[in-house]
A and B are shown apart, each in its own frame.
Chain A
Amino acid sequence: MSPSELSLLPKLFWVVVSVVGAIAYGLVIGGIIRKVMARIQGRIGPPVYQPYLDLFKVIFQRTATWHGYMFYLGPVFRAAGAIGLFLLIPVVFGDPRFDNFSFNGDLLMVMYFMFFGCLGMALGAAEGGHPHSVVAITRGLSQMTAYELPFSLAVVAIAAQTGSFSVHQIVAAQQGGVGHWFLFTNPLAAVAAFLAFLGMNMYSPFDIVLAPQEIPIGPPTEYNSAFMSAMMSGRAIFGVAKCVLYMDLFLGGATTILAAIVKVFFIYFWSIFVGAVFPRFRTEQAVRFFLGWPTAAGVAAVLAVMLF
């Protein structure tokens, strides 16, 4: 439990700043990804600020249809879940301004809060009544359950090694030089977690979940206008939040904003670079992949903690 050193109003101020900053950064990363992927594929690609244009465009669009309450609550869940997730993770170690609301819960809370947005999205899309959205959701759920196994093992290994589920303590345990990062002190756990991260980020080869969007039907088609904007910003901040979490768990956290930005960028682009060179897995192949080597690495990590 880390008592917040700021009183409520300054706290809220810094929280708003972090959230806006994270969304902005997330959108930039999205732009860079599109640029990078285009270059890899020999295209020029859209400008880096393209996501901003898209966002502002959809914010000011208006929908004329009404699908039912749950349908519209879906993006709300999604955005609230993503922002909430971000708010539960301390961004900069030892800086109360960027501590967010991490006093609300520990690593377990963060793990489970990740699902909040997915759940809302799944329900909303399903109410749309389009069978293909449901196909996408079942694929997503199948894949999610699979990559959670190596991730759980990694989390358990780290928690066991630290003796705590508190993210603060986990970061604190890695201070004092690069050699203290869990990336190096528990490389097996890091392997498991970073392989799981590929699935979590849903880029190739684990992007079959998003395939129905390409046809083009599924959630993004059904959701338009302001709902789309909520989803887009949700997605942006969700990506950043996951990277921040990985940074805290394996890369020793960050003591400055700049370090956080750099580390997040590299973590994010780990999945992009892998995605750029691998073709897409079918769902069952993806599931089996995660239950294979990543899980073995995770089990080895846990055993290592138990034995040494």
Chain B
Amino acid sequence: MVDPILLIAVPLGIAFLLPLVDRLGRAASRWVHFLTLVFYTGAAASWALALHKGTVAAKDIITASWPPPVGINLHMGLAEAVILSLAGITGICAALYLVPREEKPSIRSIVLQVLLLAGTAGLTLTRDIFNMFVFLEITSISTFAIVLLGKEKKALEAGFKYMILGGIASVLLLLGIAFLYKTTGTLNMADMAAKLPALFTGGAAAALVFLFVCMVIELKGFPLNGPAIDLYEGVEPGVMALIVGTTLNAVLFAFWKILPLFGGAAWEGVIMTSGMATFVLGNLFATRQKKVRRMLGYSSSAQVGLLVFMLPLLRNHVVTLAALGLLLLNHTLAKASLLWFTGIHEEEEIGGWRGAFANNPLLRILFGASVLAIAGLPPFPGFWGKWYALAGMARSPYAWWILPLLLGSLLEFVYYFRWLKESARGVEPARSEVVPFSLSAPPAIFTAIGLVLGIRALYGPALGVSSQAWLWMWAGGILLAAAFLPERVQAGLSFLAVLLGSILLYSSGALALHTLSGFFTSLVVIGALVFSLARLGIPALHRNYHGLFLLLAGSLLIVLKTDSLLGFFAGWELMTWTSYFLVRQGKKGPAASYLYILFSGAAGFLVLGGLMTAVAGGAVTISGLGALRGNTALWAWILLAAGLAVKVGSWGAHIWAPESYSEAPDVFTPFLSGVISKIPVFAFLAVAAKIALPGVTTTLGTLDPAWVLGWIGGLTAFGMTLLAVFQDDMKKLLAYSSLGQVGYIVLGFAMMSSLGWTAALYHSLNHLLFKGLLFVTIAGVIYRTGTRSLSDLGGLITRMPFSFFAVLIGIITLSGVPPLSGFAGKWLLYQAGIQKGWYLLTALAMFASILAFPYLFKLIHSIFLGQLKREHREIREAPKAVVLSQWILIAGIMLLSVAPGTVLVPIQEAVKAFFGKAAFTTATATELATDLGYFHAMGVMSMVVVLAVIVLAGILFFLPKHTTKVKQLDIVYSGEVPPPPEEIQYAQNFFRPFERAYSPVLLPRVKAFWKSFSESVLSLAEAGRRLYTGDGQTYILYALGVVLFLVLFIFPAPASSSSKAPGGKTGYIVPVPRKARPAEVGVQAPRPGILPGGKAK
């Protein structure tokens, strides 16, 4: 093992030698630079690996042969090794990145970079507080010297402001050190921490305030982060990436090292509050930010705030070092990558990012991946870090802090995904950007590191990710990498992969209908197979489509199969982002997918909140949820149900769905509507329902939360159906329809009875079949005609008869009219409602189902009936693959129509496992009966067929042999013929009277609500960020203000701080043996009157 002190000594020495080496030529000094970095990285990484494996023990290094309390000692542990490895890699990448970006490459920049690494190593390793001060100054001086060398003019201004504030910080640090030294007589951190509590006096308390404020300034805490954020905006991003990867982590670690000095509950509260405020407010202000780099600045400040927030938790063993390490690693990797990207695409304003990296697929993927990573989505390390941290918090008295944490995380979604939205392919031709290797390599390296670590985590055996799921995901990954292949080839490969994967799933018995997981896996397989087949006829719009699709299918398999809460949530979030990218590929996809990801993100956080409540109750697995009791069970259920309700687009949170469904690629919408909307349903049935739900006692009696959910489902069914009637965009019409149909499913679930669940499950399958059929057929129509607007179409029955038939079957099934399979679903649901005693809700559902007729008629009429448009006279039938997939779905519907029992009998088995009661009194393939009613599917079907044949035969018998085909315009208009003959199609203002009748309930209240909601959040952010006036002196005033505030109000006298501690609010602190709480010490010593504004005499 390399002696850790060399990590400081070597770069320091090289830094001073480099000007000499430079005499041999710039190449020589570059090589020396590179070798130094390699040595540094290698040494640190070998320590990290060895410490991780446990082959060596953490090492203390004693300098100048004086043992610690007197001499300066260094410490090399796992955390140090990881931070330094990261610094080394960042150093290499930054060197690579900065070379082509410097106007006049000078040796000074190289020297300073090496010096910065030396400072980082010192700052990380040292255990002497004054030594820490020295290294802090070394890194700071080298940093600002590098900034001074840069070509960015704004950098000077930012750098100067930061230096002034940094000067105040170092004065505070020095003051703090001085007082602490006076109190304890030592400079060694451990020694100081051991002696401090026993000597806790006013002077020491003030010293801690100084130390803390210094750390807040250095770690960009609110409200002292103004100049630091300016730096992000002004300074060359390559340099900022270097700082993020080196100094920032080292300073954070330094804070960790001096944290034992801050004993007591009051300090813990101050540090955590400060960190959390920085996190939430930083993210809030970032939402209003139009300048990309400044946005990253706010984000960095916020992320570091989160880490600061967690430091006391780490000390109390609430959060593990691994969790914090993953978060830190993730932030470094992702933030540095993003900073590098802002250097490659040098547009200051977010609006200028349209079409960024358009002709560089690799960079596009890397950019997307970096955003995913920073947003904390799987498989990137941040996801795992956040989960483990939250899980730790959930089990501790700090659980309430999860709330602001999730809120801040959601705000992150707001601005990062807005960036992705803005950077989507634009209308204007994309600029041709030639990106040299040395610029694209650093983000590639960093993303790869994150990805490798993350995928390894996903392979964890506890997560229960099945090998089948991996197969699909790896196929997707490979296809994503092979995006250069022609679209046709990709579509074929993807179809083959789906086919193979489905066969494997089938042969492994994963499709058994009589288990919930098997049932929903079957839905996924049916959807994937049929829609992949249809896609063979309709090319995807974007190269990455096929790979992402397989990834998505794989993530669904994770959700459906795993028993681990973490595995479930990982699959859930994977599903969220893969489907997000697929939605984004539509023509107007970027805007729609932005809404999609915001609501999906919110749903995800609600689900996460629910899972965390479960974790707080001691659950680790899904099957363990049943052990939850009381309020824990109630809240876990409510949060989960709320998240799932948002995700299925329930009324009130539905506004994202019509946009996403309609703007997603036409070949993807069927999957979105047919399969993905069922995954929350699965989660309802398989996860939420595991929780033994207690009633809520209110003044009016016991309230069943499931009843509330039932009403949400019923209102969704009603409201969405009503809105569907007025849509002119056929995909939007079907989208609203989908939401309404899923409302029925939610209603069925909420009944929590065997009949209700049977209805929900049956309808899930049926909805997949008929809505898939409708969406696929519509996709064919759009593919041929190029329009989604119903009023542009008409009379296509003659041109696309197969499609017409498919839509006909689809709408009859949807409407629930016998003899097709839709009826069984309604039949089950209403009986379940009556059985449950939810009479009004049942009537509402009936009414909603009948409200579907108008839009179904509108759909089929406007497209296929009436008069054919001139421009559509030569339209051909949809591609063969589409027609084939239509027929497959029709066959499925027919099977269910004649013999619903083939599916309902296994469903009955699946449901029986939950309620112990069979849904039916009689259940054969073709005949069903419950306590309430009966239904003979085969009988009705044969009756209808026989009657139709008889009537048809009669008519044909009377029909003459010779008839004339009536031309399109040969119709009667009360004896008049409109001159000139023209197509007349009733398509505008369809259902106008209907609209008038319902006008009171049709006001767009929900949209207005969300609009004003988002506006008020943004105006809050706007008001808040005015805090950063840009005036250097204001910032100094803030710093002094914070010092005064802390001294006057939070720590006015030891007595009051001690009075807080026993209160029990944060009494969770695991007592560190050699550290006593101020309460226990209870020193009432008068503070010396030397503090600024300290005690009034």
Are chains A and B touching directly in their complex (CB below 8 angstroms)? yes
Give residues in A with beta carbon < 8 Å to B.
Answer: 1, 59-60, 62-68, 70, 72-73, 75-77, 79-80, 83-84, 87-88, 101, 103-109, 111-113, 115-116, 119, 122-123, 126-131, 134-135, 137-139, 141-142, 144-146, 148-149, 152-153, 155-157, 159-160, 163-166, 215-217, 221-222, 225-227, 230, 282-285, 287-288, 291, 298-299, 302-303, 305-306
- For chain B, which range describes its interface: under 10, 10 to 19, 20 to 34, or 35 or more residues? 35 or more
A217 and B974 contacting across the interface, CB-CB below 8 Å: yes
Complex CA gap A138/B943 in Å reads 29
Known: A66-B966, A80-B951, A138-B991. A112 touches B823 (CB 8 A): yes
Contact yes or no, A127 B932, CB < 8 A: no
- CB of B940 within 8 A of CB of A104, answer yes
Given contacts A115-B817, A129-B866, A138-B990, A217 and B958 within 8 Å (CB-CB): no
CA distance A163 to B625 in the complex (A): 35
B753 to chain A, nearest CB (A): 15
Interface assignment of B827: CB less than 8 Å from any CB of chain A: yes
B935 engages A105 (CB within 8 Å): yes
Given contacts A105-B818, A130-B972, contact A149 B964 (CB under 8 A): no
List of A residues within 8 angstroms of B959 by Cβ: 62-63, 226
Q: Can you name 8 A-B residue pairings with CB atoms under 8 Å?
A: A105-B939, A108-B831, A113-B817, A130-B971, A131-B986, A145-B850, A156-B833, A160-B839
Q: What's the Cα separation between A135 and B992 when bound, in Å?
A: 10
Q: Complex: how many Å from CA A291 to CA B1000? A: 12
Is B854 in contact with chain A by the CB < 8 A criterion? Answer: yes
Residue in chain B with minimal CB distance to A66: B963
Q: Which of B931, B986, B993 has the most CB of A within 10 A?
A: B993
B853 near A216 with CB under 8 A, answer no
Contact A148 B993 (CB under 8 A): no
Closest B residue to A168 by beta carbon equals B934
A114 to chain B, nearest CB (A): 9
B947 sits at the interface (CB 8 A): yes
Most interface-central of A88, A108, A284, A288 (chain B CB within 10 A): A108
Q: In the complex the two chains form, is B955's CB within 8 Å of A72's CB?
A: yes
- B958-973, CB < 8 A from A: 958-960, 962-966, 968, 971-973
CB distance from A264 to the nearest CB of B (A): 21
Check if B1012 is an interface residue, CB within 8 A of chain A: no
Per the bound structure, the CA–CA distance linking A88 and B990 in Å amounts to 34
Shortest Cβ distance from B804 into A: residue: A70
Number of A-B contacts (CB under 8 A): 252
Scan residues 923-979 of chain B and give those whose CB is less than 8 A from a CB of chain A. 929, 931-936, 939-940, 943-944, 947-948, 950-952, 954-955, 958-960, 962-966, 968, 971-974
B933 touches A107 (CB 8 A): yes
Chain B residues contacting A112 (CB-CB under 8 Å) are 816-818, 823, 826
Complex-state Cα separation, A215 to B861, whole angstroms: 23
Chain A proximity mask over B36-48: 1 for CB below 8 Å, otherwise 0: 0000000000000
Min C-beta distance of B597 to chain A, whole Å: 35
Residue of A with least CB distance to B966: A65
Query: In this complex, which of B797, B934, B935 has the most chain A Cβ atoms within 10 angstroms of its Cβ?
Result: B934
B370 to chain A, nearest CB (A): 51
Please give, as numbers and ranges, the residues of chain A lying within 8 Å of B808 by CB-CB distance: 123
Known: A63-B960, A122-B857, A141-B854. A68 touches B798 (CB 8 A): yes
How far does the Cβ of A189 sit from chain B's closest Cβ, in whole Å? Answer: 11
Q: Is the CB of B944 within 8 A of A80?
A: yes
CA distance A83 to B827 in the complex (A): 21
Out of A116, A216, A225, A305, which one reaches B839, CB within 8 Å?
A305
List chain B residues, Cβ under 8 A from A144: 850, 853
B834 interface residue per 8 A CB criterion = yes
Q: Chain B 736-769, CB within 8 Å of chain A: the 1/0 string?
A: 0000000000000000000000000000000000
Q: Are A109 and B966 CB-contacts (below 8 A) given A75-B955, A123-B865?
A: no
Cross-chain contact A215 with B993 (CB below 8 angstroms): no
- Known A-B contacts A70-B865, A79-B951; A106 and B933 likewise in contact (beta carbons under 8 Å): yes
Beyond the given pairs A70-B865, A284-B997, A302-B839, 12 more chain A to chain B contacts, judged by CB atoms under 8 angstroms and listed by A's residue number, are: A59-B958, A64-B960, A76-B951, A87-B943, A108-B826, A123-B865, A131-B984, A131-B985, A138-B993, A145-B850, A166-B932, A166-B934
Whether B846 contacts A165 by the Cβ 8 Å rule is no
- Label chain B's interface by main secondary structure: helix
CB-based nearest A residue for B959:
A226
Q: Which of B812-861 contact A (CB under 8 A)?
A: 812, 815-818, 823, 826-827, 830-831, 833-834, 837, 839-840, 842-843, 846-847, 850-851, 853-854, 857, 860-861
In the assembled complex, how far is the CB of residue A257 from the closest CB belonging to chain B, in whole angstroms?
23
With A and B bound together, what is the CA distance between A282 and B992 in angstroms? 12
Residue numbers in B under 8 Å from A149 (CB-CB): 843, 847, 850
- A119 and B815: CB pair below 8 A? yes
CA distance A62 to B963 in the complex (A): 10
B853 closest partner in A (C-beta): A141
Closest to A83 in B: B947
CA distance A51 to B22 in the complex (A): 112
Give Cα A130–Cα B986 distance, bound, in whole angstroms.
Answer: 9
Asked if B998 is at the interface (CB within 8 A of a chain A CB), the reply is: yes
Known: A152-B843, A166-B933, A302-B839. A101 touches B994 (CB 8 A): no
* Alpha-carbon distance between A160 and B838 when the two chains are bound, in angstroms: 10
Indicate the member of A72, A87, A113 with the most B CB atoms within 10 Å.
Answer: A113
What residues on A are CB-neighbors of B839 within 8 Å?
156-157, 160, 302, 305-306
Asked whether, in the complex, the Cβ of B954 is within 8 Å of the Cβ of A108, the reply is no
Check if B299 is an interface residue, CB within 8 A of chain A: no
Taking CB atoms, residues of chain A closer than 8 Å to B984 are 131
B854 touches A138 (CB 8 A): yes
Determine which residue in A75, A149, A216 has the highest number of CB atoms from chain B within 10 A of its CB, and name it: A149
Instruction: Name A291's closest neighbour in chain B (CB-CB).
Output: B997
B932 touches A64 (CB 8 A): no
Shortest Cβ gap from B950 to chain A (Å)? 8
Contact B818 A148 (CB under 8 A): no
Closest to B944 in A: A84
**CB-CB nearest in chain B for A208:** B993
Q: Is the CB of B954 within 8 A of A226?
A: yes
Does the CB pair A119–B843 fall under 8 Å?
A: no
Closest to B927 in A: A1
Chain B: CB-nearest residue to A153? B843
User: Contact between B922 and A1 (Cβ–Cβ < 8 Å)?
Assistant: yes
CB-based contact B947/A80 at 8 Å: yes
Hey, which chain B residues are within 8 Å of A123, CB to CB? 808, 857, 860-861, 865
Chain A hits for B993, CB < 8 A: 138-139, 142, 282-284, 287
Q: Determine the chain B residues whose CB is within 8 A of the CB of A287 once the complex forms.
A: 993-994, 997-998
Chain A residues whose C-beta falls within 8 Å of the C-beta of B933 in the assembled complex: 105-108, 164-166
Q: Is the CB of B955 within 8 A of A230?
A: yes
Contacts of A66 in B (CB 8 A): 963-966
How many angstroms between the C-alpha atoms of A135 and B861 in the bound complex?
12
For B826, the chain A residues whose CB sits under 8 A away are 108, 112
Within the complex, what minimum Cβ distance (angstroms) separates B859 from chain A?
12
Beta-carbon contact of A165 and B834 below 8 Å:
yes
B996 beta carbon closer than 8 Å to chain A? yes
